[in-house]
Amino acid sequence: MHTFIQEYIEKNKEYFQEVSKYIYNHPETRFEEYKCAAFLANECKKLGFTVERNIANIPTAFKAIYGNGKPVIAFLGEFDALPELNQQPNISIPERIEDQPNIGHGCGHNLLGAGAFAAACAVKAFLEVNELSGTVVFYGCPGEEGGSGKTFMVREGAFNGVDTALTWHPSPINAIMSLPTLANYQVAFRFKGIAAHAANSPHLGRSALDAVELMNVGVNYLREHIIQDARVHYAVTDTGGLSPAVVQPHAEVLYLIRAPKNEQVKGIYDRICKIAEGAALMTETELTIEFMKACSNYIPNRSLEELLHKNLKIVGTSEPSEDEKTFGKQIWDTFSKDEQDFSVELMKGFGYIGDGSEFKGKYVADSISDYAVTDELFYGSTDVADVSWVTPTAQLTAATSALATPLHTWQMTAQGLSSFANKGMLRAASAMALTGIELLSSKEKLKQVQEEFQRYQQDHPYTNPIPPEVKPTTLSGKKIY
């Protein structure tokens, strides 16, 4: 089994690297990944998958199916990019690609999507050669960045019938992403006032910008009175205009509220809504609240994680080339001392176990972390979490960037097509494929994974955190259906 997967990935590695390169070179933000979704769906068709487009009523969501019967093993692929991260690949200075929108793969979703696709293809090939029953499904999952695409997909039943799901994420380390994550809500607060000349008739105006500022001050006072593990972030997305001589008649602030549990997020959200209402009262402005998206906290499945870790160890790592070490050092040198000192803590968020001593004098990871069950939190969020509430789910991370590289940075984007990143992508694909094949081949192992999931589910009923009337929204604010 291992030899088959190893040979399949090696034989087709240039193809999967080209898939990643296509996604990298066609960056698209949430729910507008039209080129990348069409490209991946067409590649699936060429390889013999049956493709269903527009699942969950999302034009850029799809699933590609091969096989028949149970079990059904899913691989989750993403392909959305981030704004403000246009960056030339394979250089260690910030430099834009000319004649391309200011969008880039600062979270490595070109690698994520191509790696999950490669895993699904490898499992399909194994089923074909060995004439085995079972079904492999590759899900094209749009809108992870600020859109919670999978949460919408879960709400619409897109993962019904799936027996287990596997995915991964690029990072500086090789490990199992075993930490629970934070649930979140993303909400826009819009204030409507009355314009007036700020000098000769300010008394006639009602400032929406004042309302935003008062709201933000109120929420800052709230921070002392929420639980330690909660996070509240905001961005002023509409200041009402550019002239200080005008009483601004409209303004908007976008909030992202996080906490370990859905009900904790809701409690904080309810309080923030009251603060917004107070700001509107103080300024005599009108308030509109738009709930945009949410995602739950991630539920680890320890049985599935152990299996995935075993296979990650089997796949192993290779010695980085001298060029890869040099590039890693160049990227490392772009970080401040504080960022370099934080590198071990950054890796721990991705599931790394250790004190970082094995990386002394190194700038790229060349080992696989041990695995340990932990209840520590990862202070980030993912829409993979909602999949984990409806089917057993596990995710690994593979080293695709230099140590200390944070996500959502130009440095991450710059490394997205590197040979080191490609190796990490294929490592992740191989480990996921091996795990998928084991689950297809062993009723015992699948039963153990599912029984653990069912035990948790009995005591923790799931409610999708996105209200039924809320629709996915693009970065420009356009609703997609």
- 234 contacts 256 by C-beta, under 8 angstroms: yes
Query: How many helices (DSSP H) and strands (DSSP E) are in the chain?
Result: 15, 15
pLDDT of residue 163: 98
DSSP state of 196: E
- Whether omega for the bond prior to residue 467 falls within 30 degrees of 0, making it cis, is no
Of 350, 390, 388, 346, the closest CA to residue 371 belongs to 350
Indicate the SS3 state at residue 442. Answer: coil
**Cα Rg of the chain, angstroms:** 23
**Token pair of 480 as six digits:** 């997609």
Report angle CA 308, 313, 315 to the nearest 5 degrees. Answer: 95
Of 194, 358, 367, 161, the closest CA to residue 286 belongs to 194
- 298 contacts 388 by C-beta, under 8 angstroms: yes
Domain 183-295 fold is Alpha-Beta Plaits (3.30.70)
pLDDT of residue 267: 98
Cα–Cα dist 325/334, whole Å = 15
pLDDT of residue 298: 97
Per domain, the residue ranges of the chain are 2-180+298-459, 183-295
DSSP state of 260: S
**Token pair of 268 as six digits:** 């904080």
pLDDT of residue 131: 87
Cβ atoms within 10 Å, residue 433: 32
Of 178, 181, 180, 176, the closest CA to residue 428 belongs to 176
- Name the pTM for this structure: 0.96
Cβ atoms within 10 Å, residue 192: 17
Report angle CA 11, 17, 22 to the nearest 5 degrees. Answer: 140
Of 143, 166, 423, 204, the closest CA to residue 308 belongs to 166
Cβ atoms within 10 Å, residue 317: 17
Q: Which CATH number fits domain 2-180+298-459: 1.10.1370.30, 3.10.310.10, 3.10.580.10, 3.40.630.10?
A: 3.40.630.10
DSSP state of 473: B
Cα–Cα dist 125/5, whole Å = 9
**Token pair of 100 as six digits:** 């391309």
- 295 contacts 383 by C-beta, under 8 angstroms: yes
Q: Per-residue pLDDT tens, the chain, 481 aa: give them.
A: 889 999 999 999 999 999 999 999 999 999 999 999 999 999 999 999 999 999 999 999 999 999 999 999 999 999 999 999 999 999 999 999 998 899 999 999 999 999 999 999 999 999 999 988 999 999 999 999 999 999 999 999 999 999 999 999 999 999 999 999 999 999 999 999 999 999 999 999 999 999 999 999 999 999 999 999 999 999 999 999 999 999 999 999 999 999 999 999 999 999 999 999 999 999 999 999 999 999 999 999 999 999 999 999 999 999 999 999 999 999 999 999 999 999 999 999 999 999 999 999 999 999 999 999 988 999 999 999 999 999 999 999 999 999 999 999 999 999 999 999 999 999 999 999 999 999 999 999 999 999 999 999 999 999 999 999 999 999 988 998 8
